């Protein structure tokens, strides 16, 4: 029996690595694509292939050569602090490049099923809460605008060409693999560092800012389930529960026996506009249609991140002492 083949772009990032891991556990042959795969090895068992998805010809070559049954796209310029950096390039990578993937499917493997990692940043300046698949998009950043373009092209290819294409509208999602510039990892790394005597404080913005935080594990499982369903559609992926940055600090520091109030300095950024309406996802469609539900709660997610940061820092300390 032939194994199903999946192509995962952005395989070295947080979401791509978790998706590759899930697919391997499900018995897939996994091809991991990305610009950095030559420098950063993907998970063991993944066949790496260097690819710049802004190169339409290269994308078509890969789909033609590997003939994947499923394609998951996580290749994108970052959200967070980088949402306004180089707007033109963000438009190419996060928007136009998705059309390259859709064209490659249409011409080289029409039966392939495709899942795009879309973003809650598409909602932007929301007027109602919670947000569902029917909520109006009003992006406030080049990142969000590019994601809206990709999301729209997905629908066009689905309706005009019959491509099995799903859009996963992902709200904030975290893991121990999250990069340090994101607030969740900044907090968990600070808690671990302060506990080990490697730092004395951490400076954060508005502690009352609230987000709907999921686990990356739960998110990629939802995307995999989308391609198991009989028909393609768009799905919000979120917990429907919000927590503040203050909650995040309280959980992370308490886990290592510290009171965050003694170590966290708040300096709100006046350039960040206040959110009049809460950004929080309504994942009813995913729950009812796919049978998906988040399995990892907020406290378990944050404490697992702290534990991993403690492990990494202690390992670094041990190596330094052995030199």
Residue positions annotated with a catalytic role: 119, 121, 143
Residues 6+ apart with CB under 8 A from 261: none
Within the chain, strands assigned E span: 5-9, 29-34, 46-50, 70-73, 113-119, 164-170, 173-174, 202-204, 210-211, 214-215, 234-237, 243-244, 264-266
Residue 143 C-alpha from the chain's centroid: 13
Query: Helices 14-25 and 216-226 sit at what angle, rounded to 10 degrees?
Result: 60
Structure-token pair, residue 302: 């944050």
What's the chain's length in residues? 323
Question: CA separation (Å) from 205 to 169, 195, 265, 293?
Answer: 26, 21, 8, 31
Nearest to 96 by CA among 130, 128, 133, 56: 56
Other beta carbons within 10 Å of 150: 26
The helix/strand/coil state of 25 is helix
CA dist 169 and 20 (Å) reads 19
Nearest to 31 by CA among 13, 50, 55, 56: 50
CA dist 170 and 221 (Å) reads 12
Structure-token pair, residue 306: 């702290």
């Amino acid at each position: 029996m032939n194994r199903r083949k999946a192509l995962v772009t952005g395989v070295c990032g947080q979401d791509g690595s978790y998706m590759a891991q899930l697919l391997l556990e499900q018995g897939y042959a996994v091809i991991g694509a990305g610009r950095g795969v030559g420098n950063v090895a993907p998970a063991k068992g993944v066949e790496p292939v260097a690819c710049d998805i802004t190169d339409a010809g290269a994308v078509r070559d890969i789909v033609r050569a590997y003939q994947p049954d499923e394609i998951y796209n996580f290749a994108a310029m970052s959200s967070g602090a980088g949402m306004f950096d180089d707007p033109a390039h963000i438009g190419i990578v996060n928007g136009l490049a998705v059309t390259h993937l859709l064209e490659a499917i249409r011409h080289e493997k029409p039966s392939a099923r495709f899942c795009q990692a879309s973003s809650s940043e598409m909602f932007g300046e929301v007027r109602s809460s919670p947000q569902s698949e029917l909520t109006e998009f009003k992006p406030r950043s080049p990142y969000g605008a590019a994601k809206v373009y990709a999301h729209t092209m997905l629908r066009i290819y689905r309706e005009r060409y019959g491509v099995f294409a799903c859009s996963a509208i992902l709200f904030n999602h975290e893991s121990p693999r999250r990069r340090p510039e994101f607030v969740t990892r900044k907090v968990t790394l600070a808690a671990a560092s302060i506990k080990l005597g490697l730092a004395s404080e951490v400076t954060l913005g508005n502690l009352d800012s609230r987000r709907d935080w999921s686990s990356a594990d739960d998110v990629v499982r939802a995307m995999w389930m989308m391609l198991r369903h009989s028909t393609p559609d768009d799905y919000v992926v979120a917990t429907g529960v919000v927590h503040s940055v203050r909650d995040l600090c309280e959980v992370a520091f308490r886990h290592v026996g510290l009171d965050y109030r003694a170590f966290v300095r708040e300096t709100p950024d006046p350039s960040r506009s206040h959110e009049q309406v809460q950004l929080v996802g309504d994942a009813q469609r995913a729950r009812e249609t796919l049978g998906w539900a988040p399995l990892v709660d907020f406290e378990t997610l944050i404490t697992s991140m702290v534990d991993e940061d403690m492990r990494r820092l202690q390992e670094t300390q041990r190596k330094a002492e052995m030199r």
